[in-house]
């Protein structure tokens, strides 16, 4: 594995297995992942929350079982925020999609096996262009996997955000008529899913950011003021771990543009 770009605030968020266990509910309010029983998996999560995404991926793969979820989340978050080269980023998303698909094959009732498959394919689709991804049938795969995630775990806030973003992106790219008829994308469903996500995980900066983006995609510039307010809320949130810090930095960067 080539050396990954380091998390820029390494050392600011330090977790071990015990502190991850203690703060588990708060740290996993977004993905609703159950507390692992395996100490090796907990230690992989400690690396993830501390921002050592490469070591978290390696430790998760080595632990196997539920450790695959850590590896998938660490790789996906790293690819999304820190990988500079577009080709590497797309390769990493495909790596996650393949691992998650294999995980879902072994354990079809694991919500995060479906979620990380959908998330990585969704980000891959954005990278190659949503229109191209829809033509390749990736949109339907993403939507199905997210609906499965929510059916298996109705409190999965992040899956609500991702499914809402699917509705928003499709309508934004192909319009509400084709979006609705061909892909089942609906404006009202998208907006409701964003709202549900924030009810499930009110402190989530990424849910605020995605809702702001989706609101403008679905309802136009008339919602810009509300969208900006959501970005400001996200930028003022208090991150508890490395991933939340990356979400916060994203909100700040967008506001500065």
Q: Tell me the Cα Rg of the chain.
A: 17
Residues in contact with 58: Cβ distance below 8 Å, sequence separation at least 6, in sequence order: 1, 71
Output DSSP code: residue 154: T
* pLDDT tens, residue order, the chain (257 aa): 689 999 999 999 999 999 999 999 999 999 999 999 999 999 999 999 999 999 999 999 999 999 999 999 999 999 999 999 999 999 999 999 999 999 999 999 999 999 999 999 999 998 888 778 878 888 899 999 999 999 999 999 999 999 999 999 999 888 888 888 888 889 999 999 999 999 999 999 999 999 999 999 999 999 999 999 999 999 999 999 999 999 999 999 999 87
pLDDT at 1: 65
pLDDT at 130: 77
Of the candidates 200, 207, 203, 126, the residue with the CA atom closest to the CA atom of residue 162: 207
Tell me how far apart the alpha carbons of residues 163 and 250 are, in angstroms, rounded to a whole number: 20
- pTM value is 0.95
Of the candidates 155, 162, 153, the residue with the CA atom closest to the CA atom of residue 109: 153
Of the candidates 171, 5, 159, 8, the residue with the CA atom closest to the CA atom of residue 92: 5
pLDDT at 158: 98
Extract the tokens encoding 90: 């797309």
Tell me how far apart the alpha carbons of residues 189 and 203 are, in angstroms, rounded to a whole number: 22
């Amino acid at each position: 594995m080539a050396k990954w770009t380091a998390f820029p605030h390494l050392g600011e968020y330090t977790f071990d297995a015990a502190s991850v266990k203690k703060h588990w509910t708060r740290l996993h309010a977004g993905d609703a992942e159950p507390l692992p029983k395996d100490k090796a998996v907990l230690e992989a999560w400690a690396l993830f929350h501390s921002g050592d995404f490469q070591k978290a991926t390696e430790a998760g793969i080595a632990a196997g079982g539920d450790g695959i979820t850590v590896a998938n989340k660490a790789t996906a978050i790293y690819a999304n925020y820190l990988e500079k080269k577009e080709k590497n980023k797309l390769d990493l998303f495909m790596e996650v999609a393949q691992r998650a698909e294999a995980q879902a094959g072994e354990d079809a009732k694991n919500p995060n096996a479906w979620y990380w498959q959908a998330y990585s394919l969704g980000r891959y689709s954005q990278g190659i262009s949503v229109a191209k991804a829809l033509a390749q049938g990736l949109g339907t795969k993403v939507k199905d996997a997210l609906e499965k995630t929510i059916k298996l775990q109705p409190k999965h806030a992040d899956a609500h955000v991702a499914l809402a973003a699917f509705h928003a992106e499709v309508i934004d790219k192909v319009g509400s008529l084709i979006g609705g008829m061909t892909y089942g994308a609906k404006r009202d469903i998208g907006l409701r899913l964003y709202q549900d996500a924030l009810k499930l995980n009110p402190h989530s900066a990424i849910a605020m950011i995605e809702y702001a983006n989706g609101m403008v995609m679905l309802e136009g510039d008339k919602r810009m003021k509300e969208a900006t307010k959501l970005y400001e809320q996200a930028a003022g949130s208090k991150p508890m771990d490395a991933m939340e810090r990356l979400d916060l930095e994203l909100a700040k960067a967008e506001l500065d543009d």
